[in-house]
Structure 1
Amino acid sequence: MSKLPPPAFLAKMESLLGADYAAFAQSYQEASQRGLRVNTLKIVPADFISKVPFALTPVGAYEPAGFRLEEDCQPGRHPFHAAGLYYLQEPSAMVAAALLQPEPGDLVLDLAAAPGGKATHLVTLMQDQGLLVANDVHRGRAKILAENLERWGARHVMVTNNQPEQLARTFGSIFDKVLVDAPCSGEGMFRKQGGFAWGEEMVVACSRRQSAVLETAVSLVRPGGMLAYATCTFSPEEDEQVVARFLAAHPQFSLCQPPAYVGFQSGEPAWADGNPDLSRAVRLWPHHFQGEGHFIALFQHQGEPSIAALPRSHKKPHMFPTRAQRQLWQDFEREHLNVSWEDERLQVVNGRYLILLPAIQLPTQGLHLLRLGLNLGELRQNHFKPAHALALTLIPDEIKQSANFSPTSPEIQHYLAGHPLTSSHKKAASWLLITVAGHPLGWGKQSPRHIKNHYPKALRQHQ
């Protein structure tokens, strides 16, 4: 059952929408839309559909890997979710990254990325090639962002917890694509969450903050690059009026004409300064589009396209693995993996954690880093302990030993709950990958008669 927005909000929408208001108001008598987006880094949609028990309907041509959930189910509890095969995301939230359309090899920034829905979408469209910098100013939310990107199996990412101004000072105008999923009054969440503390003062405050974030984002986009601005709200003060101010202040940017997908409505120039270009923005209304609601504006920097010279990354000598540390990793590789990575991209963090740097390396001075590249594992005194992140980025062919189970098997339920698994093997201790229908979930360690559970305690699902 949907929830009703505040009366003051409905009155505002009635004055804006006129004859269209009745259909808008009626949408709040309908259930909120639920959806998921398949992780095509790990599985193709057709294969995914054949394996899951959910009733799914495609969201539309704008996102071929996006689906609506057509029944009351709990997809967050399915083992495939723990394996990172999909992200729970309502359909309109899938549009911004789809319109920005990053390509493999791009340098991309998601400026307000938590909890990670759009960040995982961006890195998927990039085919995990290039570099995604995913930032959030709130440390707790940034940690959730890092966890979601880890579950997604992304390797070429940097997760930061900084104010946008610090990112601009560190990086400069280097990004091919920048997404500003701006903090907003959240009017598109009313049908799901009800009338929380909404008011015009909040709308005005959000509008000011959104303009300030866009002002910083300007200095991060390279000439010829793209900038996407998105909100999950309907008020013109946070949508067309923010875009109008931005265009007036930055004539080097122009609004792009989006594809005409089903349910997309144009921005309203009359709700701002009358600039006809505002009609190129996209409005997703719940009575026209099967989603909760979004606003997206896509800008292009009209400067001469160029490939920006990247700022240099300075690695300190103590960050390189010692000969002994490198040997621990090579021993693990040789015994357990069918794949190896470039030695020059290996780095040691805090004297004990081995990471694989992204192919594109940027400076990190002055940044609060939560993740850089792929965490391979921990260098202990006489052995290497693989990280959960490494498990989630592997495919079965890359690992020498694995134990595979059905999604409905009791073994998978026991594993996700943190219990050891029984085994008929009598081998000495050896790492193996626990997989569900061939997709990695985490590590186990073979011991005589059982497999010791190494699924992270913080992620365990208690029945």
Structure 2
Amino acid sequence: MQLPQDFLAKMNKLLQSEYEAFARSYEEERAHGLRVNTLKTSVEQFLKVAPFGMRRIPWAEEGFYYGKEDRPGKHPYHEAGLYYIQEPSAMAVGELLDPQPGDTVLDLCAAPGGKSTHLAAKMKGAGLLIANEPHPARAKILSQNVERMGIRNAVVTNEMPDRLAARFPVFFDRILVDAPCSGEGMFRKDPDACAEWSLSHVNMCAARQDEILLQAAKMLKPGGRLVYSTCTFSPEENEGAISRFVESHPEFVIEDVRAYEGFDRGRADWVDDPVEKIGNTFRLWPHRLQGEGHYIAVLRKTDGQEQAKRTFAKPMGDRKALKDYFAFAEETLMDIPSGDFTVFGEQLYILPPGMLTLDQLKVVRPGWHIGTLKKNRFEPSHALALSLNGEQARKRWNLLRETAEIAAYLRGESLPATGPKGWHLVEVDGFPIGWGKLADGTLKNHFPKGLRWTNI
């Protein structure tokens, strides 16, 4: 790998005696990781059925290393959302934010969704998660991953931080700022980040991070936790960003939280005017652990006023428009999803409890996607299938992994079938993976066209 010379000179000056070990890490194979989705299965259950070898990641309870040859992204369990393929160091961020069930949580720069889906699993379906991504194309990928992981209590937005701050002042218990950065820690994983790097780009990123933190601060409740993370080594974007922020926001303090084995501490000597306790922040180095480069700071807001007046999202008032949905649910499901319904075009959603008004926000996914209200009929969504467990469906069609039938289903093919007519929840080894509609001896395939496998 051809690394930028300015980058190497900078790292040599910073690391000194450790530089040679750091440089050698770029000649080594990077570590690969996945995180078990505990919204769908337990770690213990997954280990019993795991189709490839795994080793635990020390700092992530649900995280495991896997071998490069295993290719878990090409397995039906991936489509069923049993795990998320995530860079091992990145899993430390969700662990340190540590949201609890019932919290209101914001992931401000969320695409592609690894950290958002980690936070959702920790929330166990209770509370409100807003996953935001300013770039429209990346916001769509984020929404797809929220869907695949079976998350019910998330809203996906496509906004700039200042627009969210105006809507959600002093609203969140926990905020994650996984800031856009110069990407130095991902050079081994992402050659494009290496090609885009320059000293001027580092400075531009640092200025942008200052603005993002400013807006995040407005949205956190007193007593709330904010975690700032980057995937870069640059002190300007790490200790420098946190020092500038805490200096201008004295109501924030750097928390002293557990350091995992292999984690390094923040370096006060690498920045001008470091704030007190900057050494309580974390650096993850590729030559010290099996993972890419990361920086993480855990902050607590100690003071501030609660926001009194809120305007909450309004559910639809005309329940008669949902008669086709309720007819489908009565016939197909053991437990009928209910709550505050809202309709975007023909699409039916259930709003997470406590969501503020959606008016004049760019919203990609306003909650739990239930399905499509078509003329005189209802068609269930892929998101509904992936958010269920098998016992919640009256009719189920189970396929086994590594068989011709599951491969055909993932290609979008219909399957020969006998049984009661109507919608069947299609499963792989008992885990929901989509819908099929049985009639006249055929299970018609409803696996989404955009997700179908074309190379099997």
Partner of 2:90: 93
Partner of 2:207: 208
Partner of 2:169: 172
**1:121 aligned to 2:115?**
no
**1:437 aligned to 2:409?**
no
Q: 1:309 to 1:59 in 2, by over 3 A?
A: farther
- Residue 373 of structure 1: how far off its partner (Å): 1.4
* Distance across 2 between alignment mates of 1:281 and 1:375: 38
Mapping for residues 23-422 of structure 1, pairs under 5 Å: 23-60=21-58, 62-194=59-191, 195-272=194-271, 273-303=273-303, 309=308, 311-315=310-314, 319-323=316-320, 325-342=321-338, 344-350=339-345, 352-422=346-416
SS of residue matched to 2:23 = helix
* 8 Å contact kept, 1:159–1:372: yes
- Residue 362 of structure 1: how far off its partner (Å): 1.3
* Distance across 1 between alignment mates of 2:340 and 2:353: 8
TM-score, normalising length from structure 2?
A: 0.96
SS of residue matched to 1:328 = helix
* Distance across 2 between alignment mates of 1:134 and 1:156: 11
TM-score, normalising length from structure 1?
A: 0.95
Identity %: 43
SS of residue matched to 2:262 = coil
- Residue 20 of structure 1: how far off its partner (Å): 1.1
Which consecutive unaligned segments of at least 5 residues does structure 2 have? none
CA offsets 1:114-160 (integer angstroms, 9 cap, x no match): 00000000111111210000001100000100000000100001100
* Distance across 1 between alignment mates of 2:40 and 2:185: 31
Q: 1:47 to 1:327 in 2, by over 3 A?
A: same
- Residue 4 of structure 1: how far off its partner (Å): 4.3
SS of residue matched to 1:29 = coil
CA offsets 1:338-373 (integer angstroms, 9 cap, x no match): 00233x5122222x2221111222121221011111
The aligned amino acid for 1:230 is S
The aligned amino acid for 1:51 is V
Q: 1:265 to 1:112 in 2, by over 3 A?
A: same
- Residue 309 of structure 1: how far off its partner (Å): 4.5
- For this pair of structures, how many residues does the alignment match? 452
The aligned amino acid for 2:287 is H
The aligned amino acid for 1:41 is L
**1:448 aligned to 2:448?**
no
* 8 Å contact kept, 1:174–1:309: no
* 8 Å contact kept, 2:169–2:307: no
* 8 Å contact kept, 1:33–1:91: yes
* Distance across 2 between alignment mates of 1:150 and 1:314: 21
* 8 Å contact kept, 2:100–2:122: yes
- Residue 308 of structure 1: how far off its partner (Å): 5.4
SS of residue matched to 2:196 = coil
* 8 Å contact kept, 2:246–2:275: no
* Distance across 2 between alignment mates of 1:249 and 1:436: 53
SS of residue matched to 1:128 = coil
* 8 Å contact kept, 2:405–2:415: yes
* 8 Å contact kept, 1:54–1:71: no
SS of residue matched to 1:326 = helix
The aligned amino acid for 2:239 is E
The aligned amino acid for 2:49 is K
